[in-house]
Structure 1
């Protein structure tokens, strides 16, 4: 488990150390199992990144790391080339020693909708379920979290997180962690002050089971931050798409906010409040040099951008804050 050695040591010393009992074995099994064919290449790219001083670190809208010493053109080209081996970059943006990673999603837009409603994260243990490349883990540290733990089974996301963390100072490296496991691998920990789930619910075949799993990770009275696709309608309105929604094949249920609040109540959450609803626009999700495939403009009806290419309502996203 050398890849996760430092993270597991940090976990053992943290208030959420009971997780170690199941996680250590899962990661050991993960490293023995057949992995993505590109994983070793991705990890080699991370290992070849140059060592540079992290004199100036910003955890704002663009996650940035800079050195006071001049970074040579050769080093910049090397960093850029190695990071481009990890494309597509979907969640960001990042600026690593002058290499700007313009990701498909402007994840800072989402954070700006979420952050005003979080309250004080100071000293908290937070969990981000489905954290992607870990962009929001750094924002959680900026908001005061003591430790930010992320899970996502996507192995490219893990490599991207490791690439960004490679450039961070030791103090921050020790506080941000990503494990390549899924929510179904989590025991009932009841250990986290805040649990984030952003952009995951509609990918789950059983949304009620998923919400129950989220509550099982929270301390009593802990905070859930849920961000997801929704539709307009009353408490009985739920969209169950056909084979695709906005060209995504793994979208199962999109409830109205009223239906979602009803689900949360049935799952034992309290004080659930919808704090934001926003239509996703073309400035938030688009193709870039770091993600050259199709993006939101290709997923919408070219004659009516209020609809997806399949004729469903275009992506509308809501943020809900609830107590466990």
Structure 2
């Protein structure tokens, strides 16, 4: 149902990635194993039931918009929305798919507007997006001129969401999301012109190992864009929550930006810069009709929005750039 043949063909023409083909098909098969994901047959059935529609237009530069209402019949529209809702929850977007607006939990377009000005020109670049979710930012990177974008995320549901939309965005376009974590990439790959890691670092038990892994994805002189939760503070300061943070369990390190800059230099990066600091708001992350579970408003202290419900500082996100040696 999810066909990576165009990706495999494309990688044959990229010398830096051609060797990955020896292991990649089996890695993808393992990442999409029904034994690991019990709901995978249901998600694949939703993909199979999507109506065949040719969009009159596709936009990935100023947002992600597929076709228009005139491209689709009422029956197709009802079927399309019904199948897309079977892939709930939709976390990252938003997406406009013919006459269906997928109002995702995150306004990922707002994040893109913050980080995009700090990226080197993406024209003709090979881009890796680590922890990409359903691939919203992958399409924006492609819209900014990247020649090929590879997103990786171990969640099979995010992969299913990505391919539900790629059916209409173009199955042969050089944008893919793989059901993999960064540890699945070949060691010392040194292939990508640009690597992004957004919203990943605080989920890693060893943040310096993650930074080293990111460095090894980049060619010498390639650019890293890192976005993560931070705290206010000076060099050496870091929050390590003993329990949950904003009801999240799998969280580990929240450094100050000065500490994070030091970590990047310690792992070999140069030209390290903090380029943006932004507090996450309940307008940017919230429950919607397409993500009906709890969201940021439920994770904050109801009497003090500057604290999480556990008493930690509320989410503060920093974006840093750095150059690989």
Asked whether the equivalents of residues 129 and 151 of structure 1 are also in contact (C-alpha less than 8 Å), the reply is: yes
Aligned to 1:40: 41
Instruction: Give the Cα–Cα distance (whole angstroms) in 2 for the partners of residues 150 and 283 of structure 1.
Output: 26
**Does 2:26 align with 1:22?**
no
**Does 2:249 align with 1:223?**
no
Aligned to 2:108: 107
Instruction: Give the Cα–Cα distance (whole angstroms) in 1 for the partners of residues 71 and 226 of structure 2.
Output: 42
Classify the secondary structure of the residue corresponding to 2:225. strand
**Does 2:155 align with 1:154?**
yes
| CA deviation map 1:254-293 (0-9, x unaligned) | 0000000000000000001010000000110000000011
Aligned residues: 322
The alignment yields a C-alpha RMSD, in angstroms, of: 1.5
**Structure 2 length normalisation: TM-score?**
0.95
Instruction: Give the Cα–Cα distance (whole angstroms) in 2 for the partners of residues 199 and 30 of structure 1.
Output: 21
Aligned to 2:177: 178
Deviation at 1:6, TM superposition (A): 2.2
Deviation at 1:45, TM superposition (A): 0.5
Deviation at 1:61, TM superposition (A): 5.0
**Does 2:198 align with 1:198?**
yes
Asked whether the equivalents of residues 150 and 179 of structure 1 are also in contact (C-alpha less than 8 Å), the reply is: yes
Q: After the TM superposition, which segments of 4 or more aligned residues of structure 1 sit over 4 Å from their partners?
A: none
Deviation at 1:76, TM superposition (A): 0.6
Deviation at 1:31, TM superposition (A): 4.9
What residue ranges of structure 2 are gaps of 5+ in the alignment? none
Classify the secondary structure of the residue corresponding to 2:43. helix
Instruction: Give the Cα–Cα distance (whole angstroms) in 2 for the partners of residues 194 and 316 of structure 1.
Output: 24
Shifted more, 5-14 versus 103-112: the winner is 5-14
Deviation at 1:169, TM superposition (A): 3.2
Asked whether the equivalents of residues 7 and 174 of structure 1 are also in contact (C-alpha less than 8 Å), the reply is: no
| CA deviation map 1:102-125 (0-9, x unaligned) | 000000111011011112111010
Instruction: Give the Cα–Cα distance (whole angstroms) in 1 for the partners of residues 33 and 162 of structure 2.
Output: 21
Deviation at 1:184, TM superposition (A): 1.1
What residue ranges of structure 1 are gaps of 5+ in the alignment? none
| CA deviation map 1:33-54 (0-9, x unaligned) | 7221111110110121111112
| CA deviation map 1:128-154 (0-9, x unaligned) | 010100000000011110001011010
Asked whether the equivalents of residues 192 and 219 of structure 2 are also in contact (C-alpha less than 8 Å), the reply is: yes
Classify the secondary structure of the residue corresponding to 1:138. helix
